[in-house]
Amino acid sequence: MTLRHWQRIAWIYHIAFAGAVIWPVQAFVNTPDPFVLGLPRQMAWAAFWVLGSLFVLWRLDAARARTDDA
Amino acid sequence: MDKSTVITFIIFAYLAVTLGVGIVAGRRASRSVQGFVAGDRDFGLLVMYFITGATVFSAFAFLGGPGWAYSRGAAAFYILTYGVLGMAPWYAMGPKAAALGRRFGFVTQAQLLVGRFPSRALSAVMALLTLAAFVPYVTIQMRGAGIVIEAVTDGAVPLAAGAALAYGIVLLYVLTSGVSAVGWTNTFQGVFMVGIAWALGIYLPNRLYGGVGPMFEQILANRPELLSLPGLDGSGEPWSWGAYSTAILASAIGLTMWPHLFMKAFTARSDATIRRTVILFPTFQLFLIPVFLIGFAGVMFPESPEQSDFILPFLILRSDLPALVVGLFCAGALSASMSTGDALLHGAASVAVQDGVQPFRSLTDRGQRLLMRMLVVAVGAVAYLFALVERFSLVDLLLASYGIIAQFMPSLLSAMYWKRATTTGVVWGLVAGSAVSVFFFRFPELKPFGMHEGILGLVVHVPVLLIVSLLGKAQDPEHVNRYVNV
């Protein structure tokens, strides 16, 4: 995928992230069990989105590096 | 050696190393305003990573975070989410701000704004709002340091003396070395606080409950209200979804705009350094997980501290831990407090001189540095007085500051991305948004759905900025293009 694709994905991802951790979406992910790695599900949900950000921004930067090299 | 001697020795060793690192760091920087404020624009990835992470995570995260998890349960999860949401826009904005800084010689956020929208009044308003937001933020850090030292010495060193000791050290290295000291001490402190948080966050639930899962199972069985969003408010009643959701949004916007963080874009060696700092930031953010685990570990503990912000030192002292561990915890908590406080003191003095004084009375390079040093001491003294008398929770104070700082977002975005924005529109938007934010902070019972005052301010700010700008005369396209088309 090109730099432009990853830029678009990064924007969409972080808007989705903001939507997923506030009302009303978060209200649907609001029971602590089943625990995930011992953590309440809402806490694991937040950690999942944080880690996803790391992945998306890393791929975006890799796409930028490829574009700069070309 | 008895326990208190070991703890005291570790605290003093930590403070001595911090002071040494801070003073040595300054030897590399030039003796100029650019060296004092922007580190000669020469910070690499390691320092940028830690200066960002350690500055964001402060006494608020290290003490307020466990305090919230302990007393307000799932409400604390908002802190876990907003950091990355606030930092991600920097992937695009950071390099652009840095490029403008290099082109025009900017070292502060307001200089960038006033460069695009020439107005001395705007510069002064930015300086005033920044100081108004910084003082409570520095107060939090000082109080955090004082709380830790008072708790681990069992009251022998009171909060006032502990805060004075920690911040006396901060003043020494900031006055000597400027932002270079902030950068390198934050690197040292960042390693320390993250290591300590993970170690304690895993150790305490294991020691007290036999593991993280069993701890949450017990909390779910006995206090299920703590594991249901949006958690509880300060009085123990259910928090509202409006307050929880807007706390995340206002804090994310505020984080993007904090002047002491924004200014760090001007310190980076390259655009790639800024981008990689943003990419790696989530790894720092996850350090909040063990911080919350420590707070939750206190829920089923048979005793309670006087204030929820004391839960972390309270547990440490009652868990029969070796003196070495208690001392290291204390150093970790001091790291969290001092690594943010130093950046704030340095940022407050830089902003006050560059944006509040320089536009009205031109000073020499030497005069600016002297005045900045005097203001570092003055801001520290004011915050210290507040730290001795204030009674609010650490997190509540911080949330109030975010409301003011969030108002910078529309103005800065307009400066860098919106060609049709005008000076009048930006000034009116800023004034209207700040006034609304302060009004709802003063009268919280009038907030619709319990929404954060910063978001309510933005609801008024953005339309005012748009309408007044569109009704006014557009700026000279050549001037605008120098900012927008970078």
CA distance B163 to B64: 17
pLDDT the model gives residue B395 = 60
Please list the residues that pair with B238 across neighbouring strands. B232
Question: Hey, how many other C-beta atoms are within 10 angstroms of the C-beta on B459?
Answer: 13
CA distance A41 to A47: 10
**DSSP label of A23:** T
Interval A1-54: pLDDT, tens:
899 999 999 999 999 999 999 999 999 999 999 999 999 999 999 999 999 999
Do B417 and B384 lie in one domain? The reply is no
The answer to whether position B16 is within a domain reads yes
Report CA torsion sign: A3, A4, A6, A7.
positive
Please say whether the beta carbons of B21 and B188 come within 8 A.
yes
Nearest CA among A59, A44, A46, A54 for reference residue A18: A46
Total domains present in chain B: 2
Interval B255-287: pLDDT, tens:
999 898 898 889 888 999 999 999 999 998 998
* Contacts with A37 from chain B: Cβ below 8 Å: 212
* Contacts with A21 from chain B: Cβ below 8 Å: 77-78, 81, 248
The one-letter code for the residue type at B125 is V
Please say whether the beta carbons of B215 and B57 come within 8 A.
no
Do B212 and B316 lie in one domain? The reply is yes
**DSSP label of B476:** P
CA distance B362 to B70: 51
Instruction: Give Cβ neighbours of residue B16 (< 8 Å, ≥ 6 apart).
Output: none
Which of B394, B425, B443 delimits the end of a domain?
Answer: B394
Do B240 and B144 lie in one domain? The reply is yes
Instruction: Locate B359 and state its tokens.
Output: 């536009």
Nearest CA among B272, B273, B259, B254 for reference residue B48: B273
Q: What is the CATH number of the domain that holds B321?
A: 1.20.1730.10
Task: Give the closest-approach CA distance of B220 to chain A in angstroms.
Answer: 8
Please give the biggest Cα pair distance in chain B. 74
Task: Please judge whether A60 and B211 are an interchain contact, meaning their C-beta atoms are less than 8 angstroms apart.
Answer: no
B307 vs A56 pLDDT, higher one: A56
CA distance B70 to A54: 28
Please give the biggest Cα pair distance in chain A. 49
Question: Hey, how many other C-beta atoms are within 10 angstroms of the C-beta on A24?
Answer: 9
Which A positions 1-30 lie with beta carbon below 8 A of chain B? Answer: 10, 14, 17-18, 21-24, 26-27, 30
Do B344 and B212 lie in one domain? The reply is yes
pLDDT the model gives residue B411 = 96
Do B302 and B381 lie in one domain? The reply is yes
Do B369 and B439 lie in one domain? The reply is no
Task: Write b or e for each residue in B257-269: b if 16 or more Cβ atoms lie within 10 A of its Cβ, otherwise e.
Answer: bbbbbbbbbbbbb
The answer to whether position B399 is within a domain reads no
Task: Please judge whether B282 and A58 are an interchain contact, meaning their C-beta atoms are less than 8 angstroms apart.
Answer: no
The answer to whether position B7 is within a domain reads yes
Task: Please judge whether B84 and A17 are an interchain contact, meaning their C-beta atoms are less than 8 angstroms apart.
Answer: yes
3-state secondary structure B208-251: HHCCHHHHHHHHHHHCHHHHCCCCECCCCCECCHHHHHHHHHHH
Task: Please judge whether A61 and B276 are an interchain contact, meaning their C-beta atoms are less than 8 angstroms apart.
Answer: yes
Count chain A–chain B contacts defined by CB atoms under 8 A.
Answer: 98
CA distance B103 to B209: 57
Interval B391-412: pLDDT, tens:
655 566 666 777 888 999 999 9
Task: Give the closest-approach CA distance of B179 to chain A in angstroms.
Answer: 28
pLDDT the model gives residue B433 = 95
Domain that includes residue B460, residue range:
407-486
Number of helical (H) and strand (E) elements in chain B, helices listed first: 24, 0
CA distance B252 to B250: 6
Burial of A33 (0-12, 13-18, 19+ CB in 10 A): exposed
Please say whether the beta carbons of B169 and B185 come within 8 A.
no
Task: Please judge whether A51 and B282 are an interchain contact, meaning their C-beta atoms are less than 8 angstroms apart.
Answer: yes
Do B221 and B89 lie in one domain? The reply is yes
C-alpha R_g of chain A: 15
* Contacts with B292 from chain A: Cβ below 8 Å: 43
Helix (H) or strand (E) holding B402: helix B394-405
pLDDT the model gives residue B394 = 56
Task: Please judge whether B282 and A50 are an interchain contact, meaning their C-beta atoms are less than 8 angstroms apart.
Answer: yes
Do B426 and B343 lie in one domain? The reply is no
The answer to whether position B450 is within a domain reads yes
* Contacts with B417 from chain A: Cβ below 8 Å: none
Task: Please judge whether B216 and A32 are an interchain contact, meaning their C-beta atoms are less than 8 angstroms apart.
Answer: yes
Name the residue in chain B with its Cα closest to that of A59.
Answer: B279
CA distance B86 to A17: 11
For every residue of A27-58, DSSP letters joined together read: HHS----S-BTTB-HHHHHHHHHHHHHHHHHH
Do B387 and B421 lie in one domain? The reply is no
Which of B337, B362, B394 delimits the end of a domain?
Answer: B394
Task: Please judge whether A57 and B91 are an interchain contact, meaning their C-beta atoms are less than 8 angstroms apart.
Answer: yes
Predicted TM-score (pTM) of this structure: 0.90
Q: Three-state SS for B31?
A: coil
Task: Please judge whether A23 and B242 are an interchain contact, meaning their C-beta atoms are less than 8 angstroms apart.
Answer: yes
pLDDT the model gives residue B242 = 96
Do B325 and B382 lie in one domain? The reply is yes
Please say whether the beta carbons of B140 and B398 come within 8 A.
yes
Which of B364, B394, B424 delimits the end of a domain?
Answer: B394
Q: Which residues, given as ranges, of chain B have pLDDT below 70? A: 1, 390-399
Do B240 and B279 lie in one domain? The reply is yes
Domain that includes residue A51, residue range:
3-69
Instruction: Locate B117 and state its tokens.
Output: 């929208």
CA A70 → CA A66, B318, B402, B454, distances in Å? 6, 60, 42, 44
Partner B contacted by A39 (CB < 8 A): yes
Name the residue in chain B with its Cα closest to that of A18.
Answer: B85
Please list the residues that pair with A36 across neighbouring strands. A39
Do B411 and B375 lie in one domain? The reply is no
Instruction: Locate B36 and state its tokens.
Output: 């004092």
For every residue of B314-356, DSSP letters joined together read: HHHHHTT--HHHHHHHHHHHHHHHHHHHHHHHHHHHHHIIIII
CA distance A50 to B374: 40
